[in-house]
Amino acid sequence: MSKQQNEKVILITGASSGIGAATVQKVVAAGHKAVITARSADKLNALAERLGTDKVLPVTANVSKLADISNVVQQAKQRFGRLDVVFANAGTGLNTAGIADGDPDEWQTMLDVNVNGLLFTAKASLPALKETQGHFIVTSSVAGKITLQGSVYGASKWFAYGFGQNLAAEMKQWNGRCTTICPGMVNTPFFDEAKPDKLQPEDIADAVMFAISANSRCDVREITLMPAN
């Protein structure tokens, strides 16, 4: 397809709910194309139907499997011809906090998504992004910048933060850009109880839109958002 002025093809992981789903809506409203992925086929397909299958390509995948996310990138290029932005947003948390009381099996599941998922998403998409001098965006957290007693989740977000900084330096070699987004508490399905007075998923989606719409001379390396409350 021919590239319309300012139109971008944007791949979003963890797109079935929360921050990911909010970002899909903002992306499409701004006139971009979205390739959306998560493990929940039903939610992805419903989102694509609602926003328009001409604009949204749903591809079911588990980001902790390199073959899965490589397939998503391949389908994105087949459908839209290129890839301009990747929002590596998929993440998960833990039910049991701390090291002494923590569940190693639960740690492994989380690290597969929060660490390997980031690595595999970047590994699979960087060749396509290099072709377009594109943009990689990482969802880290304020938890990845502070000390939280015994928090394995927080440590995984420290990885995400450092990974985003290091990837930015690597992508700079070919005029690519990388942004690490660090939200404070966000009202998402991540929590058992609603947090209506905290950040909303749309706030993080707005930060993504700000980063990708910045002038090409401006490499937005990091955005931190905190609830006003």
- Surface-to-core class of residue 66, CB atoms within 10 Å of its CB (0-12 exposed, 13-18 middle, 19+ buried): middle
Strand 177-183 relative to strand 222-225, pairing: parallel
The residue from 87, 153, 161, 163 that is catalytic is: 153
Comparing CA positions, the residue from 145, 167, 148 lying closest to residue 157 is 145
CA–CA dist 78, 83 (Å, integer): 10
Tokens of 87: 């929002």
Give the orientation angle of helix 117-132 with respect to helix 66-80, to 10 degrees: 30
Active site residue 161: no
List residues with catalytic annotation: 153
